[in-house]
Amino acid sequence: MSNYYSQEIHGPYQLINIGNLNLYEGGVIEECFLAISTFGKLNSEKSNAILIPTWYSGTSKIMLDAYIGEGRALDPDKYFIIIVNQIGNGLSISPSNAPEKIHGKKFPKIRICDDVDAQHKLLKEHFKINQLELVVGGSMGAQQTFEWSVRYPDFVKRAAPIAGTAKNSEHDFVFTDTLIEAITSDPAYQSGDYENSKQVSIGLERHAKLWTVMGWSTEFFRAARHQSLGFKDIHDFIANFMIPYFSEMDPNNLLTMAYKWQRADVSLNTEGDLLSALRKIKAKTYVMPISHDMFFTCQDCLAEQKSIKNSQLKVLDSIDGHLGLFGTDSKMMEQLDLYLKDLLLEI
Amino acid sequence: MSNYYSQEIHGPYQLINIGNLNLYEGGVIEECFLAISTFGKLNSEKSNAILIPTWYSGTSKIMLDAYIGEGRALDPDKYFIIIVNQIGNGLSISPSNAPEKIHGKKFPKIRICDDVDAQHKLLKEHFKINQLELVVGGSMGAQQTFEWSVRYPDFVKRAAPIAGTAKNSEHDFVFTDTLIEAITSDPAYQSGDYENSKQVSIGLERHAKLWTVMGWSTEFFRAARHQSLGFKDIHDFIANFMIPYFSEMDPNNLLTMAYKWQRADVSLNTEGDLLSALRKIKAKTYVMPISHDMFFTCQDCLAEQKSIKNSQLKVLDSIDGHLGLFGTDSKMMEQLDLYLKDLLLEI
């Protein structure tokens, strides 16, 4: 396992073996393990649990640092908060840490519903939890949140998908393709047979540059938000923030997540009928796009939200765009906390 | 010269030798030639000329097909319309058609002001024109339009920069970097020493995919505009429209234009002071962003327009985004014609 994914950097986290996981595209992951971090205490009725799945490239660490805290909506004094790392992120089972049989490029294709099934097993069998107060996550975490609400409608009392959609758009599929190709086009990637991430640094740098273009917003750079974050100009921002952020991540891990991201689609539960899928949702749902998100746009989120019964659209205002998810805009994070506190009131 | 740039496909056009062109970054293009197409008749006072520069990858052909016509704003019955191909586009002097000494990768670095100087020479020396009724262009054509207005303020009575800015943004610089790297990262590009465009097809395909993501808009695909244009889905649209569009273009030509595009900046005329540069503009100016443009955004255009004395912001409404410039949205083209007709009224 690469040192980047160590407990020193991303922990503490526990590894929970959930046994065999049958996969949507066929095959099975034997002795599948999920890396989780928990905060607060599960009450005796097991009725105060909140689940937080992670986004592309993210781990439990950023969710703890940016989203959880005493007095905040996600308050460990009130709730038992489980942050679950998505499969492929380098902490839960992933190309970089899987047993030899499915290591690296031999890792199977995973879908969002596989993550949700794995998490469902974790909650039922490991924690004996039968219902969640809330599922909340950003980006691919939102994709998992929607999948939870459709696949296990009685399990989810409340849902807060942030900056993500229930069915990925064609436009977003192609954006993700460009991210994938930035990596795979590096000759050093060698169809996944590289020895370490450093070898694929040129591909990872192109990947970071694409994230710079689509991850924030045109307005973010015009308003010199990158300068107010401490960087001289956009080139300094790329060289000393965007590239270092991604450079130590394992390419096969990123590609495993990208594949899932592209194909996120709750209508796989209803034979391709998106409306039927969204109508299955029982959770009180706040759909929360970020105003300046360039790929999970407000319009795309609104189009789905309208079909979810007990839902409201709560736009988070920030020129930081999609990567405002990092918590860079304190005002947006305050707005998010207000919405989440409101959502968590008695139903 | 590749057959793609032939008169059969892009003509008819004339090649005008404007003599030596001194370049902003140093050096000179000897016997520089510009490819132009003209429509209508220059009146005896030489007071009815309109100049149309071209955008990245575009030639005079698309400007004729989508923008000019009897009864339209750009009416050859009223005006003498000169469409001038930008340097590097494959029709005017370019890496692909230059003499051996500066052929291919040996072609010098060109800036927007070099194009404008070349066009100024063309108008003064070849046509003996001293003033233009209007300069109008989209994208890099808008960059040239702004440069014209700042560099030769008495020459330009009216200006209509569409979907472009006077000073390129940092964000757009990086987007263009990703286009450049899509091509140059193809091992077959060989630092510009490839034999023909087909060899660099993988790089050109990645370049086309990036254009798919940023060139239209998320809303364009959500509204299935690509389907209404006759394509089954986004993949069909990429394979049978976006990739074929770019696939025959010469990579060194594209890179010559991309370099110019990135560095477009009217403040090079005023020692880096953008406000001073914009205040030099005397032309009656309609700044015309496209509502859903993902990289030359309305906000960026508005920020500049506010500093131009005799100007108005005229937003073109279209979910087709930047590539609405192709004329795909007939309602937007009608709106454009109304604005241009209004602009062309007596001052």
ipTM associated with this complex: 0.94
- Alpha-carbon gap: B19 to the closest alpha carbon of chain A (Å): 38
Q: Cα–Cα distance between B141 and A49 in angstroms, integer?
A: 57
Of A170, A202, A222, the CB nearest to B299: A222
| Separation of first and last alpha carbons in chain B | 44
Q: Cα–Cα distance between B340 and B345 in angstroms, integer?
A: 9
* Residue pLDDT, tens place only, A199-211: 999 999 999 999 9
Of A174, A219, A220, the CB nearest to B213: A174
Q: How many other CB atoms are found less than 10 A from the CB of residue B228? A: 9
Q: Is B228 within 8 Å of B71 (Cβ atoms)?
A: no
Residues of chain A in contact with residue B180, where contact means CB-CB under 8 angstroms, are none
Q: Do A299 and B174 make contact, defined as CB atoms within 8 angstroms?
A: no
Residue B161: φ, ψ to 5°: -80, 120
Q: Do A185 and B169 make contact, defined as CB atoms within 8 angstroms?
A: no
Query: What are the pLDDT tens digits along chain A (347 aa)?
Result: 458 999 999 989 999 999 999 999 999 999 999 999 999 999 999 999 999 999 999 999 999 999 999 999 999 999 999 999 999 999 999 999 999 999 999 999 999 999 999 999 999 999 999 999 999 999 999 999 999 999 999 999 999 999 999 999 999 999 999 999 999 999 999 999 999 999 999 999 999 999 999 999 999 999 999 999 999 999 999 999 999 999 999 999 999 999 999 999 999 999 999 999 999 999 999 999 999 999 999 999 999 999 999 999 999 999 999 999 999 999 999 999 999 999 999 87
- Which residue of chain B comes nearest to A208, CA vs CA? B178
* Residue pLDDT, tens place only, A206-247: 999 999 999 999 999 999 999 999 999 999 999 999 999 999
- Alpha-carbon gap: B68 to the closest alpha carbon of chain A (Å): 32
Q: Is A183 within 8 Å of A207 (Cβ atoms)?
A: yes
Residues of chain B in contact with residue A169, where contact means CB-CB under 8 angstroms, are 218, 221-222
Of B214, B233, B303, the CB nearest to A222: B303
Peptide bond into A153 cis (omega under 30): no
Alpha-carbon A28 to chain mean position:
22
SS3 state at A71 = coil
Task: State how far the alpha carbon of B32 is from the alpha carbons of A261, B23, B119, in Å.
Answer: 50, 11, 11
Q: Cα–Cα distance between A209 and A186 in angstroms, integer?
A: 14
Preferred mutation among B213, B298, B300 to probe A, highest tally of A CBs within 10 A:
B213
* B139 annotated active-site: yes
Mean pLDDT (whole number) for B219-242: 97
Residues of chain A in contact with residue B305, where contact means CB-CB under 8 angstroms, are none
Task: Domains for chain B: give ranges and CATH numbers.
Answer: 3-169+264-343 (3.40.50.1820), 173-257 (1.10.1740)
Q: Do A299 and B218 make contact, defined as CB atoms within 8 angstroms?
A: yes
* Residue pLDDT, tens place only, B141-153: 999 999 999 999 9
HSE-up of residue B317 (Cα within 13 Å, Cβ side): 4
* B92 annotated active-site: no
HSE-up of residue A53 (Cα within 13 Å, Cβ side): 35
Q: How many residues does this entry show for chain B?
A: 347
HSE-up of residue A329 (Cα within 13 Å, Cβ side): 21
pLDDT for B1: 44
- Of the candidates A4, A25, A81, A70, which has an alpha carbon nearest to the alpha carbon of residue A48? A81
Q: Cα–Cα distance between B65 and A293 in angstroms, integer?
A: 35
Q: Do B169 and A221 make contact, defined as CB atoms within 8 angstroms?
A: yes
The active-site residue out of A37, A94, A139, A149 is: A139
Torsion over CA: B127, B131, B136, B142 (sign) = positive
The active-site residue out of B57, B92, B96, B139 is: B139
DSSP for B208-260 reads HHHHHHHHS-HHHHHTTHHHHTT-SSHHHHIIIIIHHHHHTS-HHHHHHHHHH
Preferred mutation among B165, B167, B169, B170 to probe A, highest tally of A CBs within 10 A:
B170
- Alpha-carbon gap: B227 to the closest alpha carbon of chain A (Å): 12
pLDDT for A1: 44
Residues of chain A in contact with residue B295, where contact means CB-CB under 8 angstroms, are 218
Percent of chain B scored above 90 by pLDDT?
98
DSSP H/E element including A7: helix A7-10
Is the pLDDT at B35 greater than 60, yes or no? yes
- Three-point CA angle B25, B177, B95, nearest 5°: 50
Residue B344: φ, ψ to 5°: -85, -5
* A103 annotated active-site: no
Q: Cα–Cα distance between A312 and B126 in angstroms, integer?
A: 64
The active-site residue out of A96, A250, A322, A329 is: A322
Task: State how far the alpha carbon of A308 is from the alpha carbons of A112, A166, A312, A316, A339, in Å.
Answer: 20, 11, 8, 19, 18
Tell me the Cα Rg of chain A. 19
* Residue pLDDT, tens place only, B260-284: 999 999 999 999 999 999 999 999 9
Looking at residue B107, the DSSP 8-state letter turns out to be P
Of A222, A238, A297, the CB nearest to B218: A297
The active-site residue out of B293, B300, B320, B329 is: B293
pLDDT for A2: 52
Residues of chain B in contact with residue A189, where contact means CB-CB under 8 angstroms, are none
Residue B91: φ, ψ to 5°: -105, -55
Q: Do A169 and B218 make contact, defined as CB atoms within 8 angstroms?
A: yes
- Which residue of chain A comes nearest to B304, CA vs CA? A222
* Residue pLDDT, tens place only, B250-263: 999 999 999 999 99
Q: Do A300 and B187 make contact, defined as CB atoms within 8 angstroms?
A: no
Residues of chain B in contact with residue A302, where contact means CB-CB under 8 angstroms, are none
Point out which residues pair with B156 in neighbouring strands. Answer: B132
List the helix and strand counts (H, then E) for chain B: 14, 8
| Separation of first and last alpha carbons in chain A | 44
* Residue pLDDT, tens place only, B152-202: 999 999 999 999 999 999 999 999 999 999 999 999 999 999 999 999 999
Point out which residues pair with B21 in neighbouring strands. Answer: B29
Q: Do B174 and A303 make contact, defined as CB atoms within 8 angstroms?
A: no
Q: Cα–Cα distance between A335 and A64 in angstroms, integer?
A: 18
pLDDT for B2: 52
- Alpha-carbon gap: A110 to the closest alpha carbon of chain B (Å): 22
Q: Do B222 and A174 make contact, defined as CB atoms within 8 angstroms?
A: no
